[in-house]
Structure formats: C-alpha cells, structure tokens
Structure 1
Amino acid sequence: MTEPTLPVRPELAGLEPYGAPQLDVPVLLNVNENPYPPSSTVVDDVAEAVRRAAGGLNRYPDRDFPALRADLADYLTRESGVPVEAAQVWAANGSNEVMLHLLQAFGGPGRTALSFAPTYSMYPEYARDTSTRWVVGRRAEDFTLDVEQAVAAVAEHRPSVVLLASPNNPTGTALDLPTVRALLDAARQVPGGCVVVVDEAYGEFRRAGVPSALELLADHPHLAVSRTMSKAFGLAGARLGYLAAAPALVDALRVVRLPYHLSAVTQAVARAALAHADELMAQVGALRAERDRTVEWLRSRGLRVAETDANFVLFGTFADRHAVWQGLLDRGVLIRETGPDGWLRVSIGTPAEMAAFQDALEEVAL
C-alpha cells in the first residue's frame, strides 16, 4: 500500500527545526543564558505560587492576565524610568511567541518584514511561518546601522513590520535613539502603516547611559518594545516574553493569540519572580563586569571584538571558525558558531566558566 503524501507547505519541505546544539558538557556558553540559578528564597516563593495555582487547574486561566500585565508594567516603569500602564503590555510564551504574534497581526501574504543583518536568526522564520515576505538590509562593518541606508530600505520595500534588535543578537550592538527615531519617522510614511519592533531581549545588560527605546513609546503608537524574563531574570525555563506598546497595538495582538495561551502556572511563576526583581537583577551588574573583562581579555590577545551591550561577546576572526569551535568543545566548552564568517559568540558565564573558556581558547587558537 502506497504511503500517503503529506501536504507540507513547499517552503517548509526539507527544513530542519531551529535550535542551537544542546550538548552535555561542563561549560555551557552558547545560548546566552544567565548562569546564576534563582536563590532558594525565589524557588520557594515560585513553588508556593505554583502550588496555589495548581488548586485551580481544572479551570482555564485568565485569557488577558491583567494582574501579570500590571506587574510587568510596574517593573518596566522602575527599570527604565518610563511610565508604562498595564494596557500597554502584552505577554506570551517567550519573546519568540510575542514576535510571532506581531507577524501574525501585522505581516502575512502580500506584506513585508524588514531587518538588517547580521541579526537574530529566528526573524526570517517568523516571517516564513506567517507567509510574510522577508527582506534584509546590511549593517555597517562595525555592525551599527547606517541611518540613511536603513531609511532608504524602508522607503524602497514599504514593509509592514521592521524588526530591530537592540542590543543586537549576535553582535551585541545597541541602537541609539536618533537611529530608532529616524526609522519610526520613515515608517510613518509607509502606505498602509508600518510597525517598528525594537527587540530588547538583552536590554537590562546595556551599559550605563545607553537608553531604552521605551523612551520613545509615548510619541510613537506604531512602536513596540519587547523584553524577556529569560535572560536578565534567569528564567529561560519559565518561557515568559512581553512587550510594551500603545493599547491599540496590544489589542491587535489579542486578536491573533490562541485562547488561554499563557497557562496559570506560567502566570504564577512570572508574578512570583517579578516580586523578586531586585534580587534577580542583582546578578546583572556582575555579568556586565564579567562581559567587559572578557572583551578586554580578547582584545589583549589581538582578536577583533564587537562592541556589546548584551550578556555575550562576538569575537574573531578565524580562518576556520568551526575548527576553533570544535577545539573548545573538545575541551568541554560549548560556545556558538554564529554571525558573519570567521566570528564566534560566547555567552557570559560565571568567573570560573569564563576562566575555563579563556584557558581553552589559549590552547586552541592563541
């Protein structure tokens, strides 16, 4: 009997699912995780919040989770100094789902999403999954954006969505507000409208004086600024991403979200963690300092290093970066082979983990 043919969409045929290598090695520095687990106090409070939520698991969770949105708005207000209201906040299972909601609401067949490479490798997949045309411009040699070229790309391609990571992944490059403002002004001129998304997944790691795009929210109803609890909060396993935008933009996302997409357990975990935001953020300063020490060490060894405001460092360049990556792996250190040819990316770990990385790199490539 002939096996039936599966009607896979042509653009998906033969593709492998996205994902960085998940290997059991002593030093994991490849997916930009926070290396510090929650304290026992946080764990106890999270467990108690889940216990309480478990008593009502026979009922669906609140579809629009107003209490969580209020807690997230309060956190953003304190972290950025920009007043944010609960009605301006949306959340989902990781910032990946937040981005997918944005493309579902504002992308689609006959529409275009625009970004500037090198940048986060999932962006074109969000576009593909929503049948949105994907167009990519180029960043400058130092991975900043050339404002005139970026504005010209918006005028040429007339996207419905512009995706800007700041700090950018995999380079760590942050955008200044004049650049974001210029792209917002260009987006206003796009017939039919254009949403500008500033992805601040690593925003809490930015250096002193580097602003958040949240400062532009009040005057730009077509701006969305996304964040995540995976990185600075050290809650990658909780899967909670969120954004701030004008209430009308948030309402458009509520239309495309699946019913009850945030479980009662996820909501409980996130709210319990937000109650400990100050404690969880205490490690951010240490990670910033370790990042800066890593940048200085790499440069002292004659390597090129991209300016970074994130919890990772892009460095190079190597004639055979895969050989360097494999050499580190052979010594128990897993980093990421990503970015432009010749470059590698290392997440910032504990001082002991970074010492292991440096020792391995000395043996392999220096």
Structure 2
Amino acid sequence: MTFPPLREELRGIQPYGAPQLDVPVQLNVNENPYPPPADCVADIAAAVAEAATTLNRYPDREFTALREALAGYLSGDSTHPVAAEQVWAANGSNEVMLQLLQAFGGPGRCALSFAPTYSMYPEYARDAMTEWVVGRREEDFSLDAAAARELVLAHRPAVVLLPSPNNPTGTALPPEEVSMLCEAAGDGVVVVDEAYGEFRRPGVPSALDLLPRHRNLVVSRTMSKAFALAGARLGYLAAAPEICDAIRVVRLPYHLSAVTQATALAALRHAPALLARVADLRAERDATVDWLRAQGLVVADSDANFALFGTFADRRAVWQGLLDRGVLIRETGPDGWLRVSIGTPAEMNAFKDALVDVMKEQAA
C-alpha cells in the first residue's frame, strides 16, 4: 500500500479552488464587492463578543434562533411562508450540499445534473461515494426539458442538482421545469441551488414558491453572495421537515459554532442594508452584458452576479493578458469561455479597459 493510504479514486486529483492572487481587481469568485456597512459590522462585533463569553460551552446544536430568523427572511422571498422546521444551515452551501449527498446518496445510488454547471457537484458525489451522472445543456445553456425528464426517468437519481441561476452560466430555470423534474424524480431529492437567487431579474420567481407542491424539493441559499458574508461561511436550505430531520443523521456534532450563529443572526438583523447593493449589482451586470455584446462577444443571459462570455480561440491567453494588467477573472465553463464577477463601477471599468487592450493585442 502506498503512503499515505489515499482512496484510489482520489489519487492525482488536485484540490478544488480558484486562484488566490494579490491583484488590484479581483473578479473571479463572485463575491459581493461591497463590504458590510459600519452599523452591521458593529452589531456583528458585539454579538460575537457576547458569544465569546460562552465559548466554554457547546453552542445550540439546533441553532433554533438562527433557523427562525432564516425562515423569516425566506418567507419574505416566497409566495408561501417558510417555517423554522423547514430550514437547515451549515458552514457554507458547500457543506449543505455535502450533507445532502451524505444523507441521500451513497454506494448504489447516483446524483445527476446538467453540464456546464458548478464544478464542485461531482466532487460532492465522489466524496459521498455516489455515482455521478451528467446530462448536457443546450447551446444557450437552457435545459431541453423533455430530454432532462427522460434522463431522470432513465437513471432514477437519489439526488438531482439544479442550480438556478446556474454557475458558471447565470441561467435561471423556469418553475415549470423544476416542477416537471420533481415529479419525474419520484422519491429522489431535487435540489435547486439558489446561491445567486437574490440577483435574479425582476419577474423571475424563486423555487421557494414550489415547496408546498413538492415534498422532495430542496431550495438552498447562501449568505456568501448577496449578503456580502463570504467570510462568515453560512449556507442554508428550505425543505420538508422530513428532509431536515434526515440531514441530522449525518451532521457532525455542534457543526455550527456559537460565533457563526451570532454572526449570521446579526447580519440578518441588517438584511435590508446588506442587500441594498443588490440592485446596483444587477444594473452593473446588465450594463456589462450589453457592453460585452457590443464588443462582438457572445454572452450568456445572466440572473447572477457574474457574466459568462466568449468565445476565444485561446481563452488562457486572454485570462493571462487580463491578469498581466491587474485584473483577475475566472477561466471556467466550456472551452473558449471566461467568467467575470460583477464588481464596483471602477473595477468593471478596469476590466473593460484591460479586455479591450488584450483583444487588440490578440487581433494584431
């Protein structure tokens, strides 16, 4: 046996992670570029200080107050109220997803999604020893609803992962397609990953509206994006209480620290202020999409805080050219495409100037 005795299917695999480089303009990991406002920071600091006086004790493992606060927030984004017993949370939506795969996947079961999509999904399946099945999206990154339904019926997945808006394309799913796949999945769990849900365009509904209709539907969210709390690591979901109860079986003891719970609760008290920049970021996104198209590029319609654009014969050269000019974006998605997170107006101007220079250099 080779040391260390790593599982054979993990040998040679590089760990997931976007480049972390110290450059003036960082537009590669879909963060909110605006930090929390000062009064929110002060409230978080006070809440954490209070929590620190109890750190000799384990936190509330049911994070009751946080679940109630999250349910209140989600109820405001849904046509139906969400109850606290329908809410679960963990250390980022990554842990939420892994817990779902640990609870409902496993040997002899499969998880299914449609590429291009979030590159961590197959890793969750792998870590939970779950077979990974992947269908394909259309050229405009939408789903062929009939083909998607047939794939689900053919494989009977235990878990279907449907990001909406999708990462890295920004594409949102129509609710009727979500409903159709929930019905096709039978007793399989259908997870609509709404990590970027707050950035969706007006008139695009949340899958939260469908929860009363489908007992196998899970809607996941995060505080990392619109809430500008990427460093806090708090993800959560809404689902039938039976699904939340099932996740308890696989969660680690006291998995949400007292500090995390205090931070998230304080942030939720300031939700309107934290989300105040969402409209600005939507407008900047739409302006960026229009500008990229005016440069002759193809851009996917986006309901997220990023834009996928292309296509380039050598996208690596374009990515490197931008980096050489102090602008970091993401080399991800199908061949020839690049993704830019939406930053401040100054950051987006720097990106545009750098891209114009790089494209001129490439054309010379």
TM-score range, shorter chain: over 0.9
Which of residues 27, 47, 54 in structure 2 aligns to 1:29? 27
1:203 match: 197
Amino acid at match of 1:76: L
1:162 aligns with 2:160: yes
1:4 CA drift (Å)? 6.9
The alignment's TM-score, normalised by the length of structure 2, stands at: 0.98
1:68 match: 66
Aligned to 1:291, the other structure's residue is in SS state helix
Structure 1 runs (4+) deviating above 3 angstroms are none
Provide the rounded CA distance (Å) in 1 between the counterparts of 2:284 and 2:3: 53
Unaligned runs of 5+ in 1: none
8 Å CA contact 1:199–1:226 kept in 2: the answer is yes
1:286 match: 280
Which of residues 170, 174, 185 in structure 2 aligns to 1:172? 170
1:238 aligns with 2:238: no
Task: Compare 43-52 and 8-17 and name the one that shifted more.
Answer: 8-17
8 Å CA contact 2:322–2:355 kept in 1: the answer is yes
Aligned to 1:237, the other structure's residue is in SS state coil
1:8 aligns with 2:6: yes
Where do residues 170-319 of structure 1 align in structure 2 (5 Å cutoff)?
Answer: 170-188=168-186, 193-319=187-313
Provide the rounded CA distance (Å) in 1 between the counterparts of 2:2 and 2:249: 35
Amino acid at match of 1:245: A
Amino acid at match of 2:338: L
1:297 CA drift (Å)? 0.3
1:110 match: 108
Provide the rounded CA distance (Å) in 1 between the counterparts of 2:151 and 2:67: 35
Aligned to 1:211, the other structure's residue is in SS state coil
Provide the rounded CA distance (Å) in 2 between the counterparts of 1:137 and 1:319: 25
8 Å CA contact 1:76–1:82 kept in 2: the answer is no
Amino acid at match of 1:24: D
8 Å CA contact 1:165–1:198 kept in 2: the answer is yes
Amino acid at match of 1:319: A
1:134 aligns with 2:132: yes
1:7 CA drift (Å)? 1.5
1:337 CA drift (Å)? 0.2
Aligned to 1:137, the other structure's residue is in SS state strand
Aligned to 1:219, the other structure's residue is in SS state coil
Aligned to 1:80, the other structure's residue is in SS state coil
Provide the rounded CA distance (Å) in 2 between the counterparts of 1:232 and 1:56: 30
Amino acid at match of 1:298: L
* Superposed CA offset, 1:101-142 (max 9, x none): 000000000100000000000000000000000000000010
| Alpha-carbon RMSD | 0.9
* Superposed CA offset, 1:198-223 (max 9, x none): 00000000000001000110011100
1:19 match: 17
8 Å CA contact 2:40–2:267 kept in 1: the answer is yes
8 Å CA contact 1:187–1:196 kept in 2: the answer is yes
Which of residues 83, 99, 102 in structure 2 aligns to 1:101? 99
Amino acid at match of 1:13: R
Provide the rounded CA distance (Å) in 2 between the counterparts of 1:76 and 1:314: 28
1:15 CA drift (Å)? 1.1
Amino acid at match of 1:340: P
How many correspondences in the alignment? Answer: 360
Amino acid at match of 1:253: I
Aligned to 1:79, the other structure's residue is in SS state coil
* Superposed CA offset, 1:172-213 (max 9, x none): 00000011011011012xxxx200000000000000000100
Amino acid at match of 2:290: E
8 Å CA contact 1:306–1:313 kept in 2: the answer is yes
1:360 CA drift (Å)? 0.1
Quickly say closer, same or farther: Cα 1:4–1:183, change in 2 above 3 A: closer
Provide the rounded CA distance (Å) in 1 between the counterparts of 2:79 and 2:290: 30
Provide the rounded CA distance (Å) in 2 between the counterparts of 1:346 and 1:356: 12
Unaligned runs of 5+ in 2: none
Aligned to 1:91, the other structure's residue is in SS state strand
Aligned to 1:162, the other structure's residue is in SS state strand
8 Å CA contact 2:77–2:206 kept in 1: the answer is no
8 Å CA contact 2:332–2:338 kept in 1: the answer is yes
Provide the rounded CA distance (Å) in 1 between the counterparts of 2:203 and 2:80: 15
Aligned to 1:256, the other structure's residue is in SS state coil
Provide the rounded CA distance (Å) in 1 between the counterparts of 2:196 and 2:182: 21
Amino acid at match of 2:278: V
Provide the rounded CA distance (Å) in 2 between the counterparts of 1:334 and 1:94: 23
Provide the rounded CA distance (Å) in 2 between the counterparts of 1:107 and 1:270: 29
8 Å CA contact 2:159–2:191 kept in 1: the answer is yes
1:354 match: 348
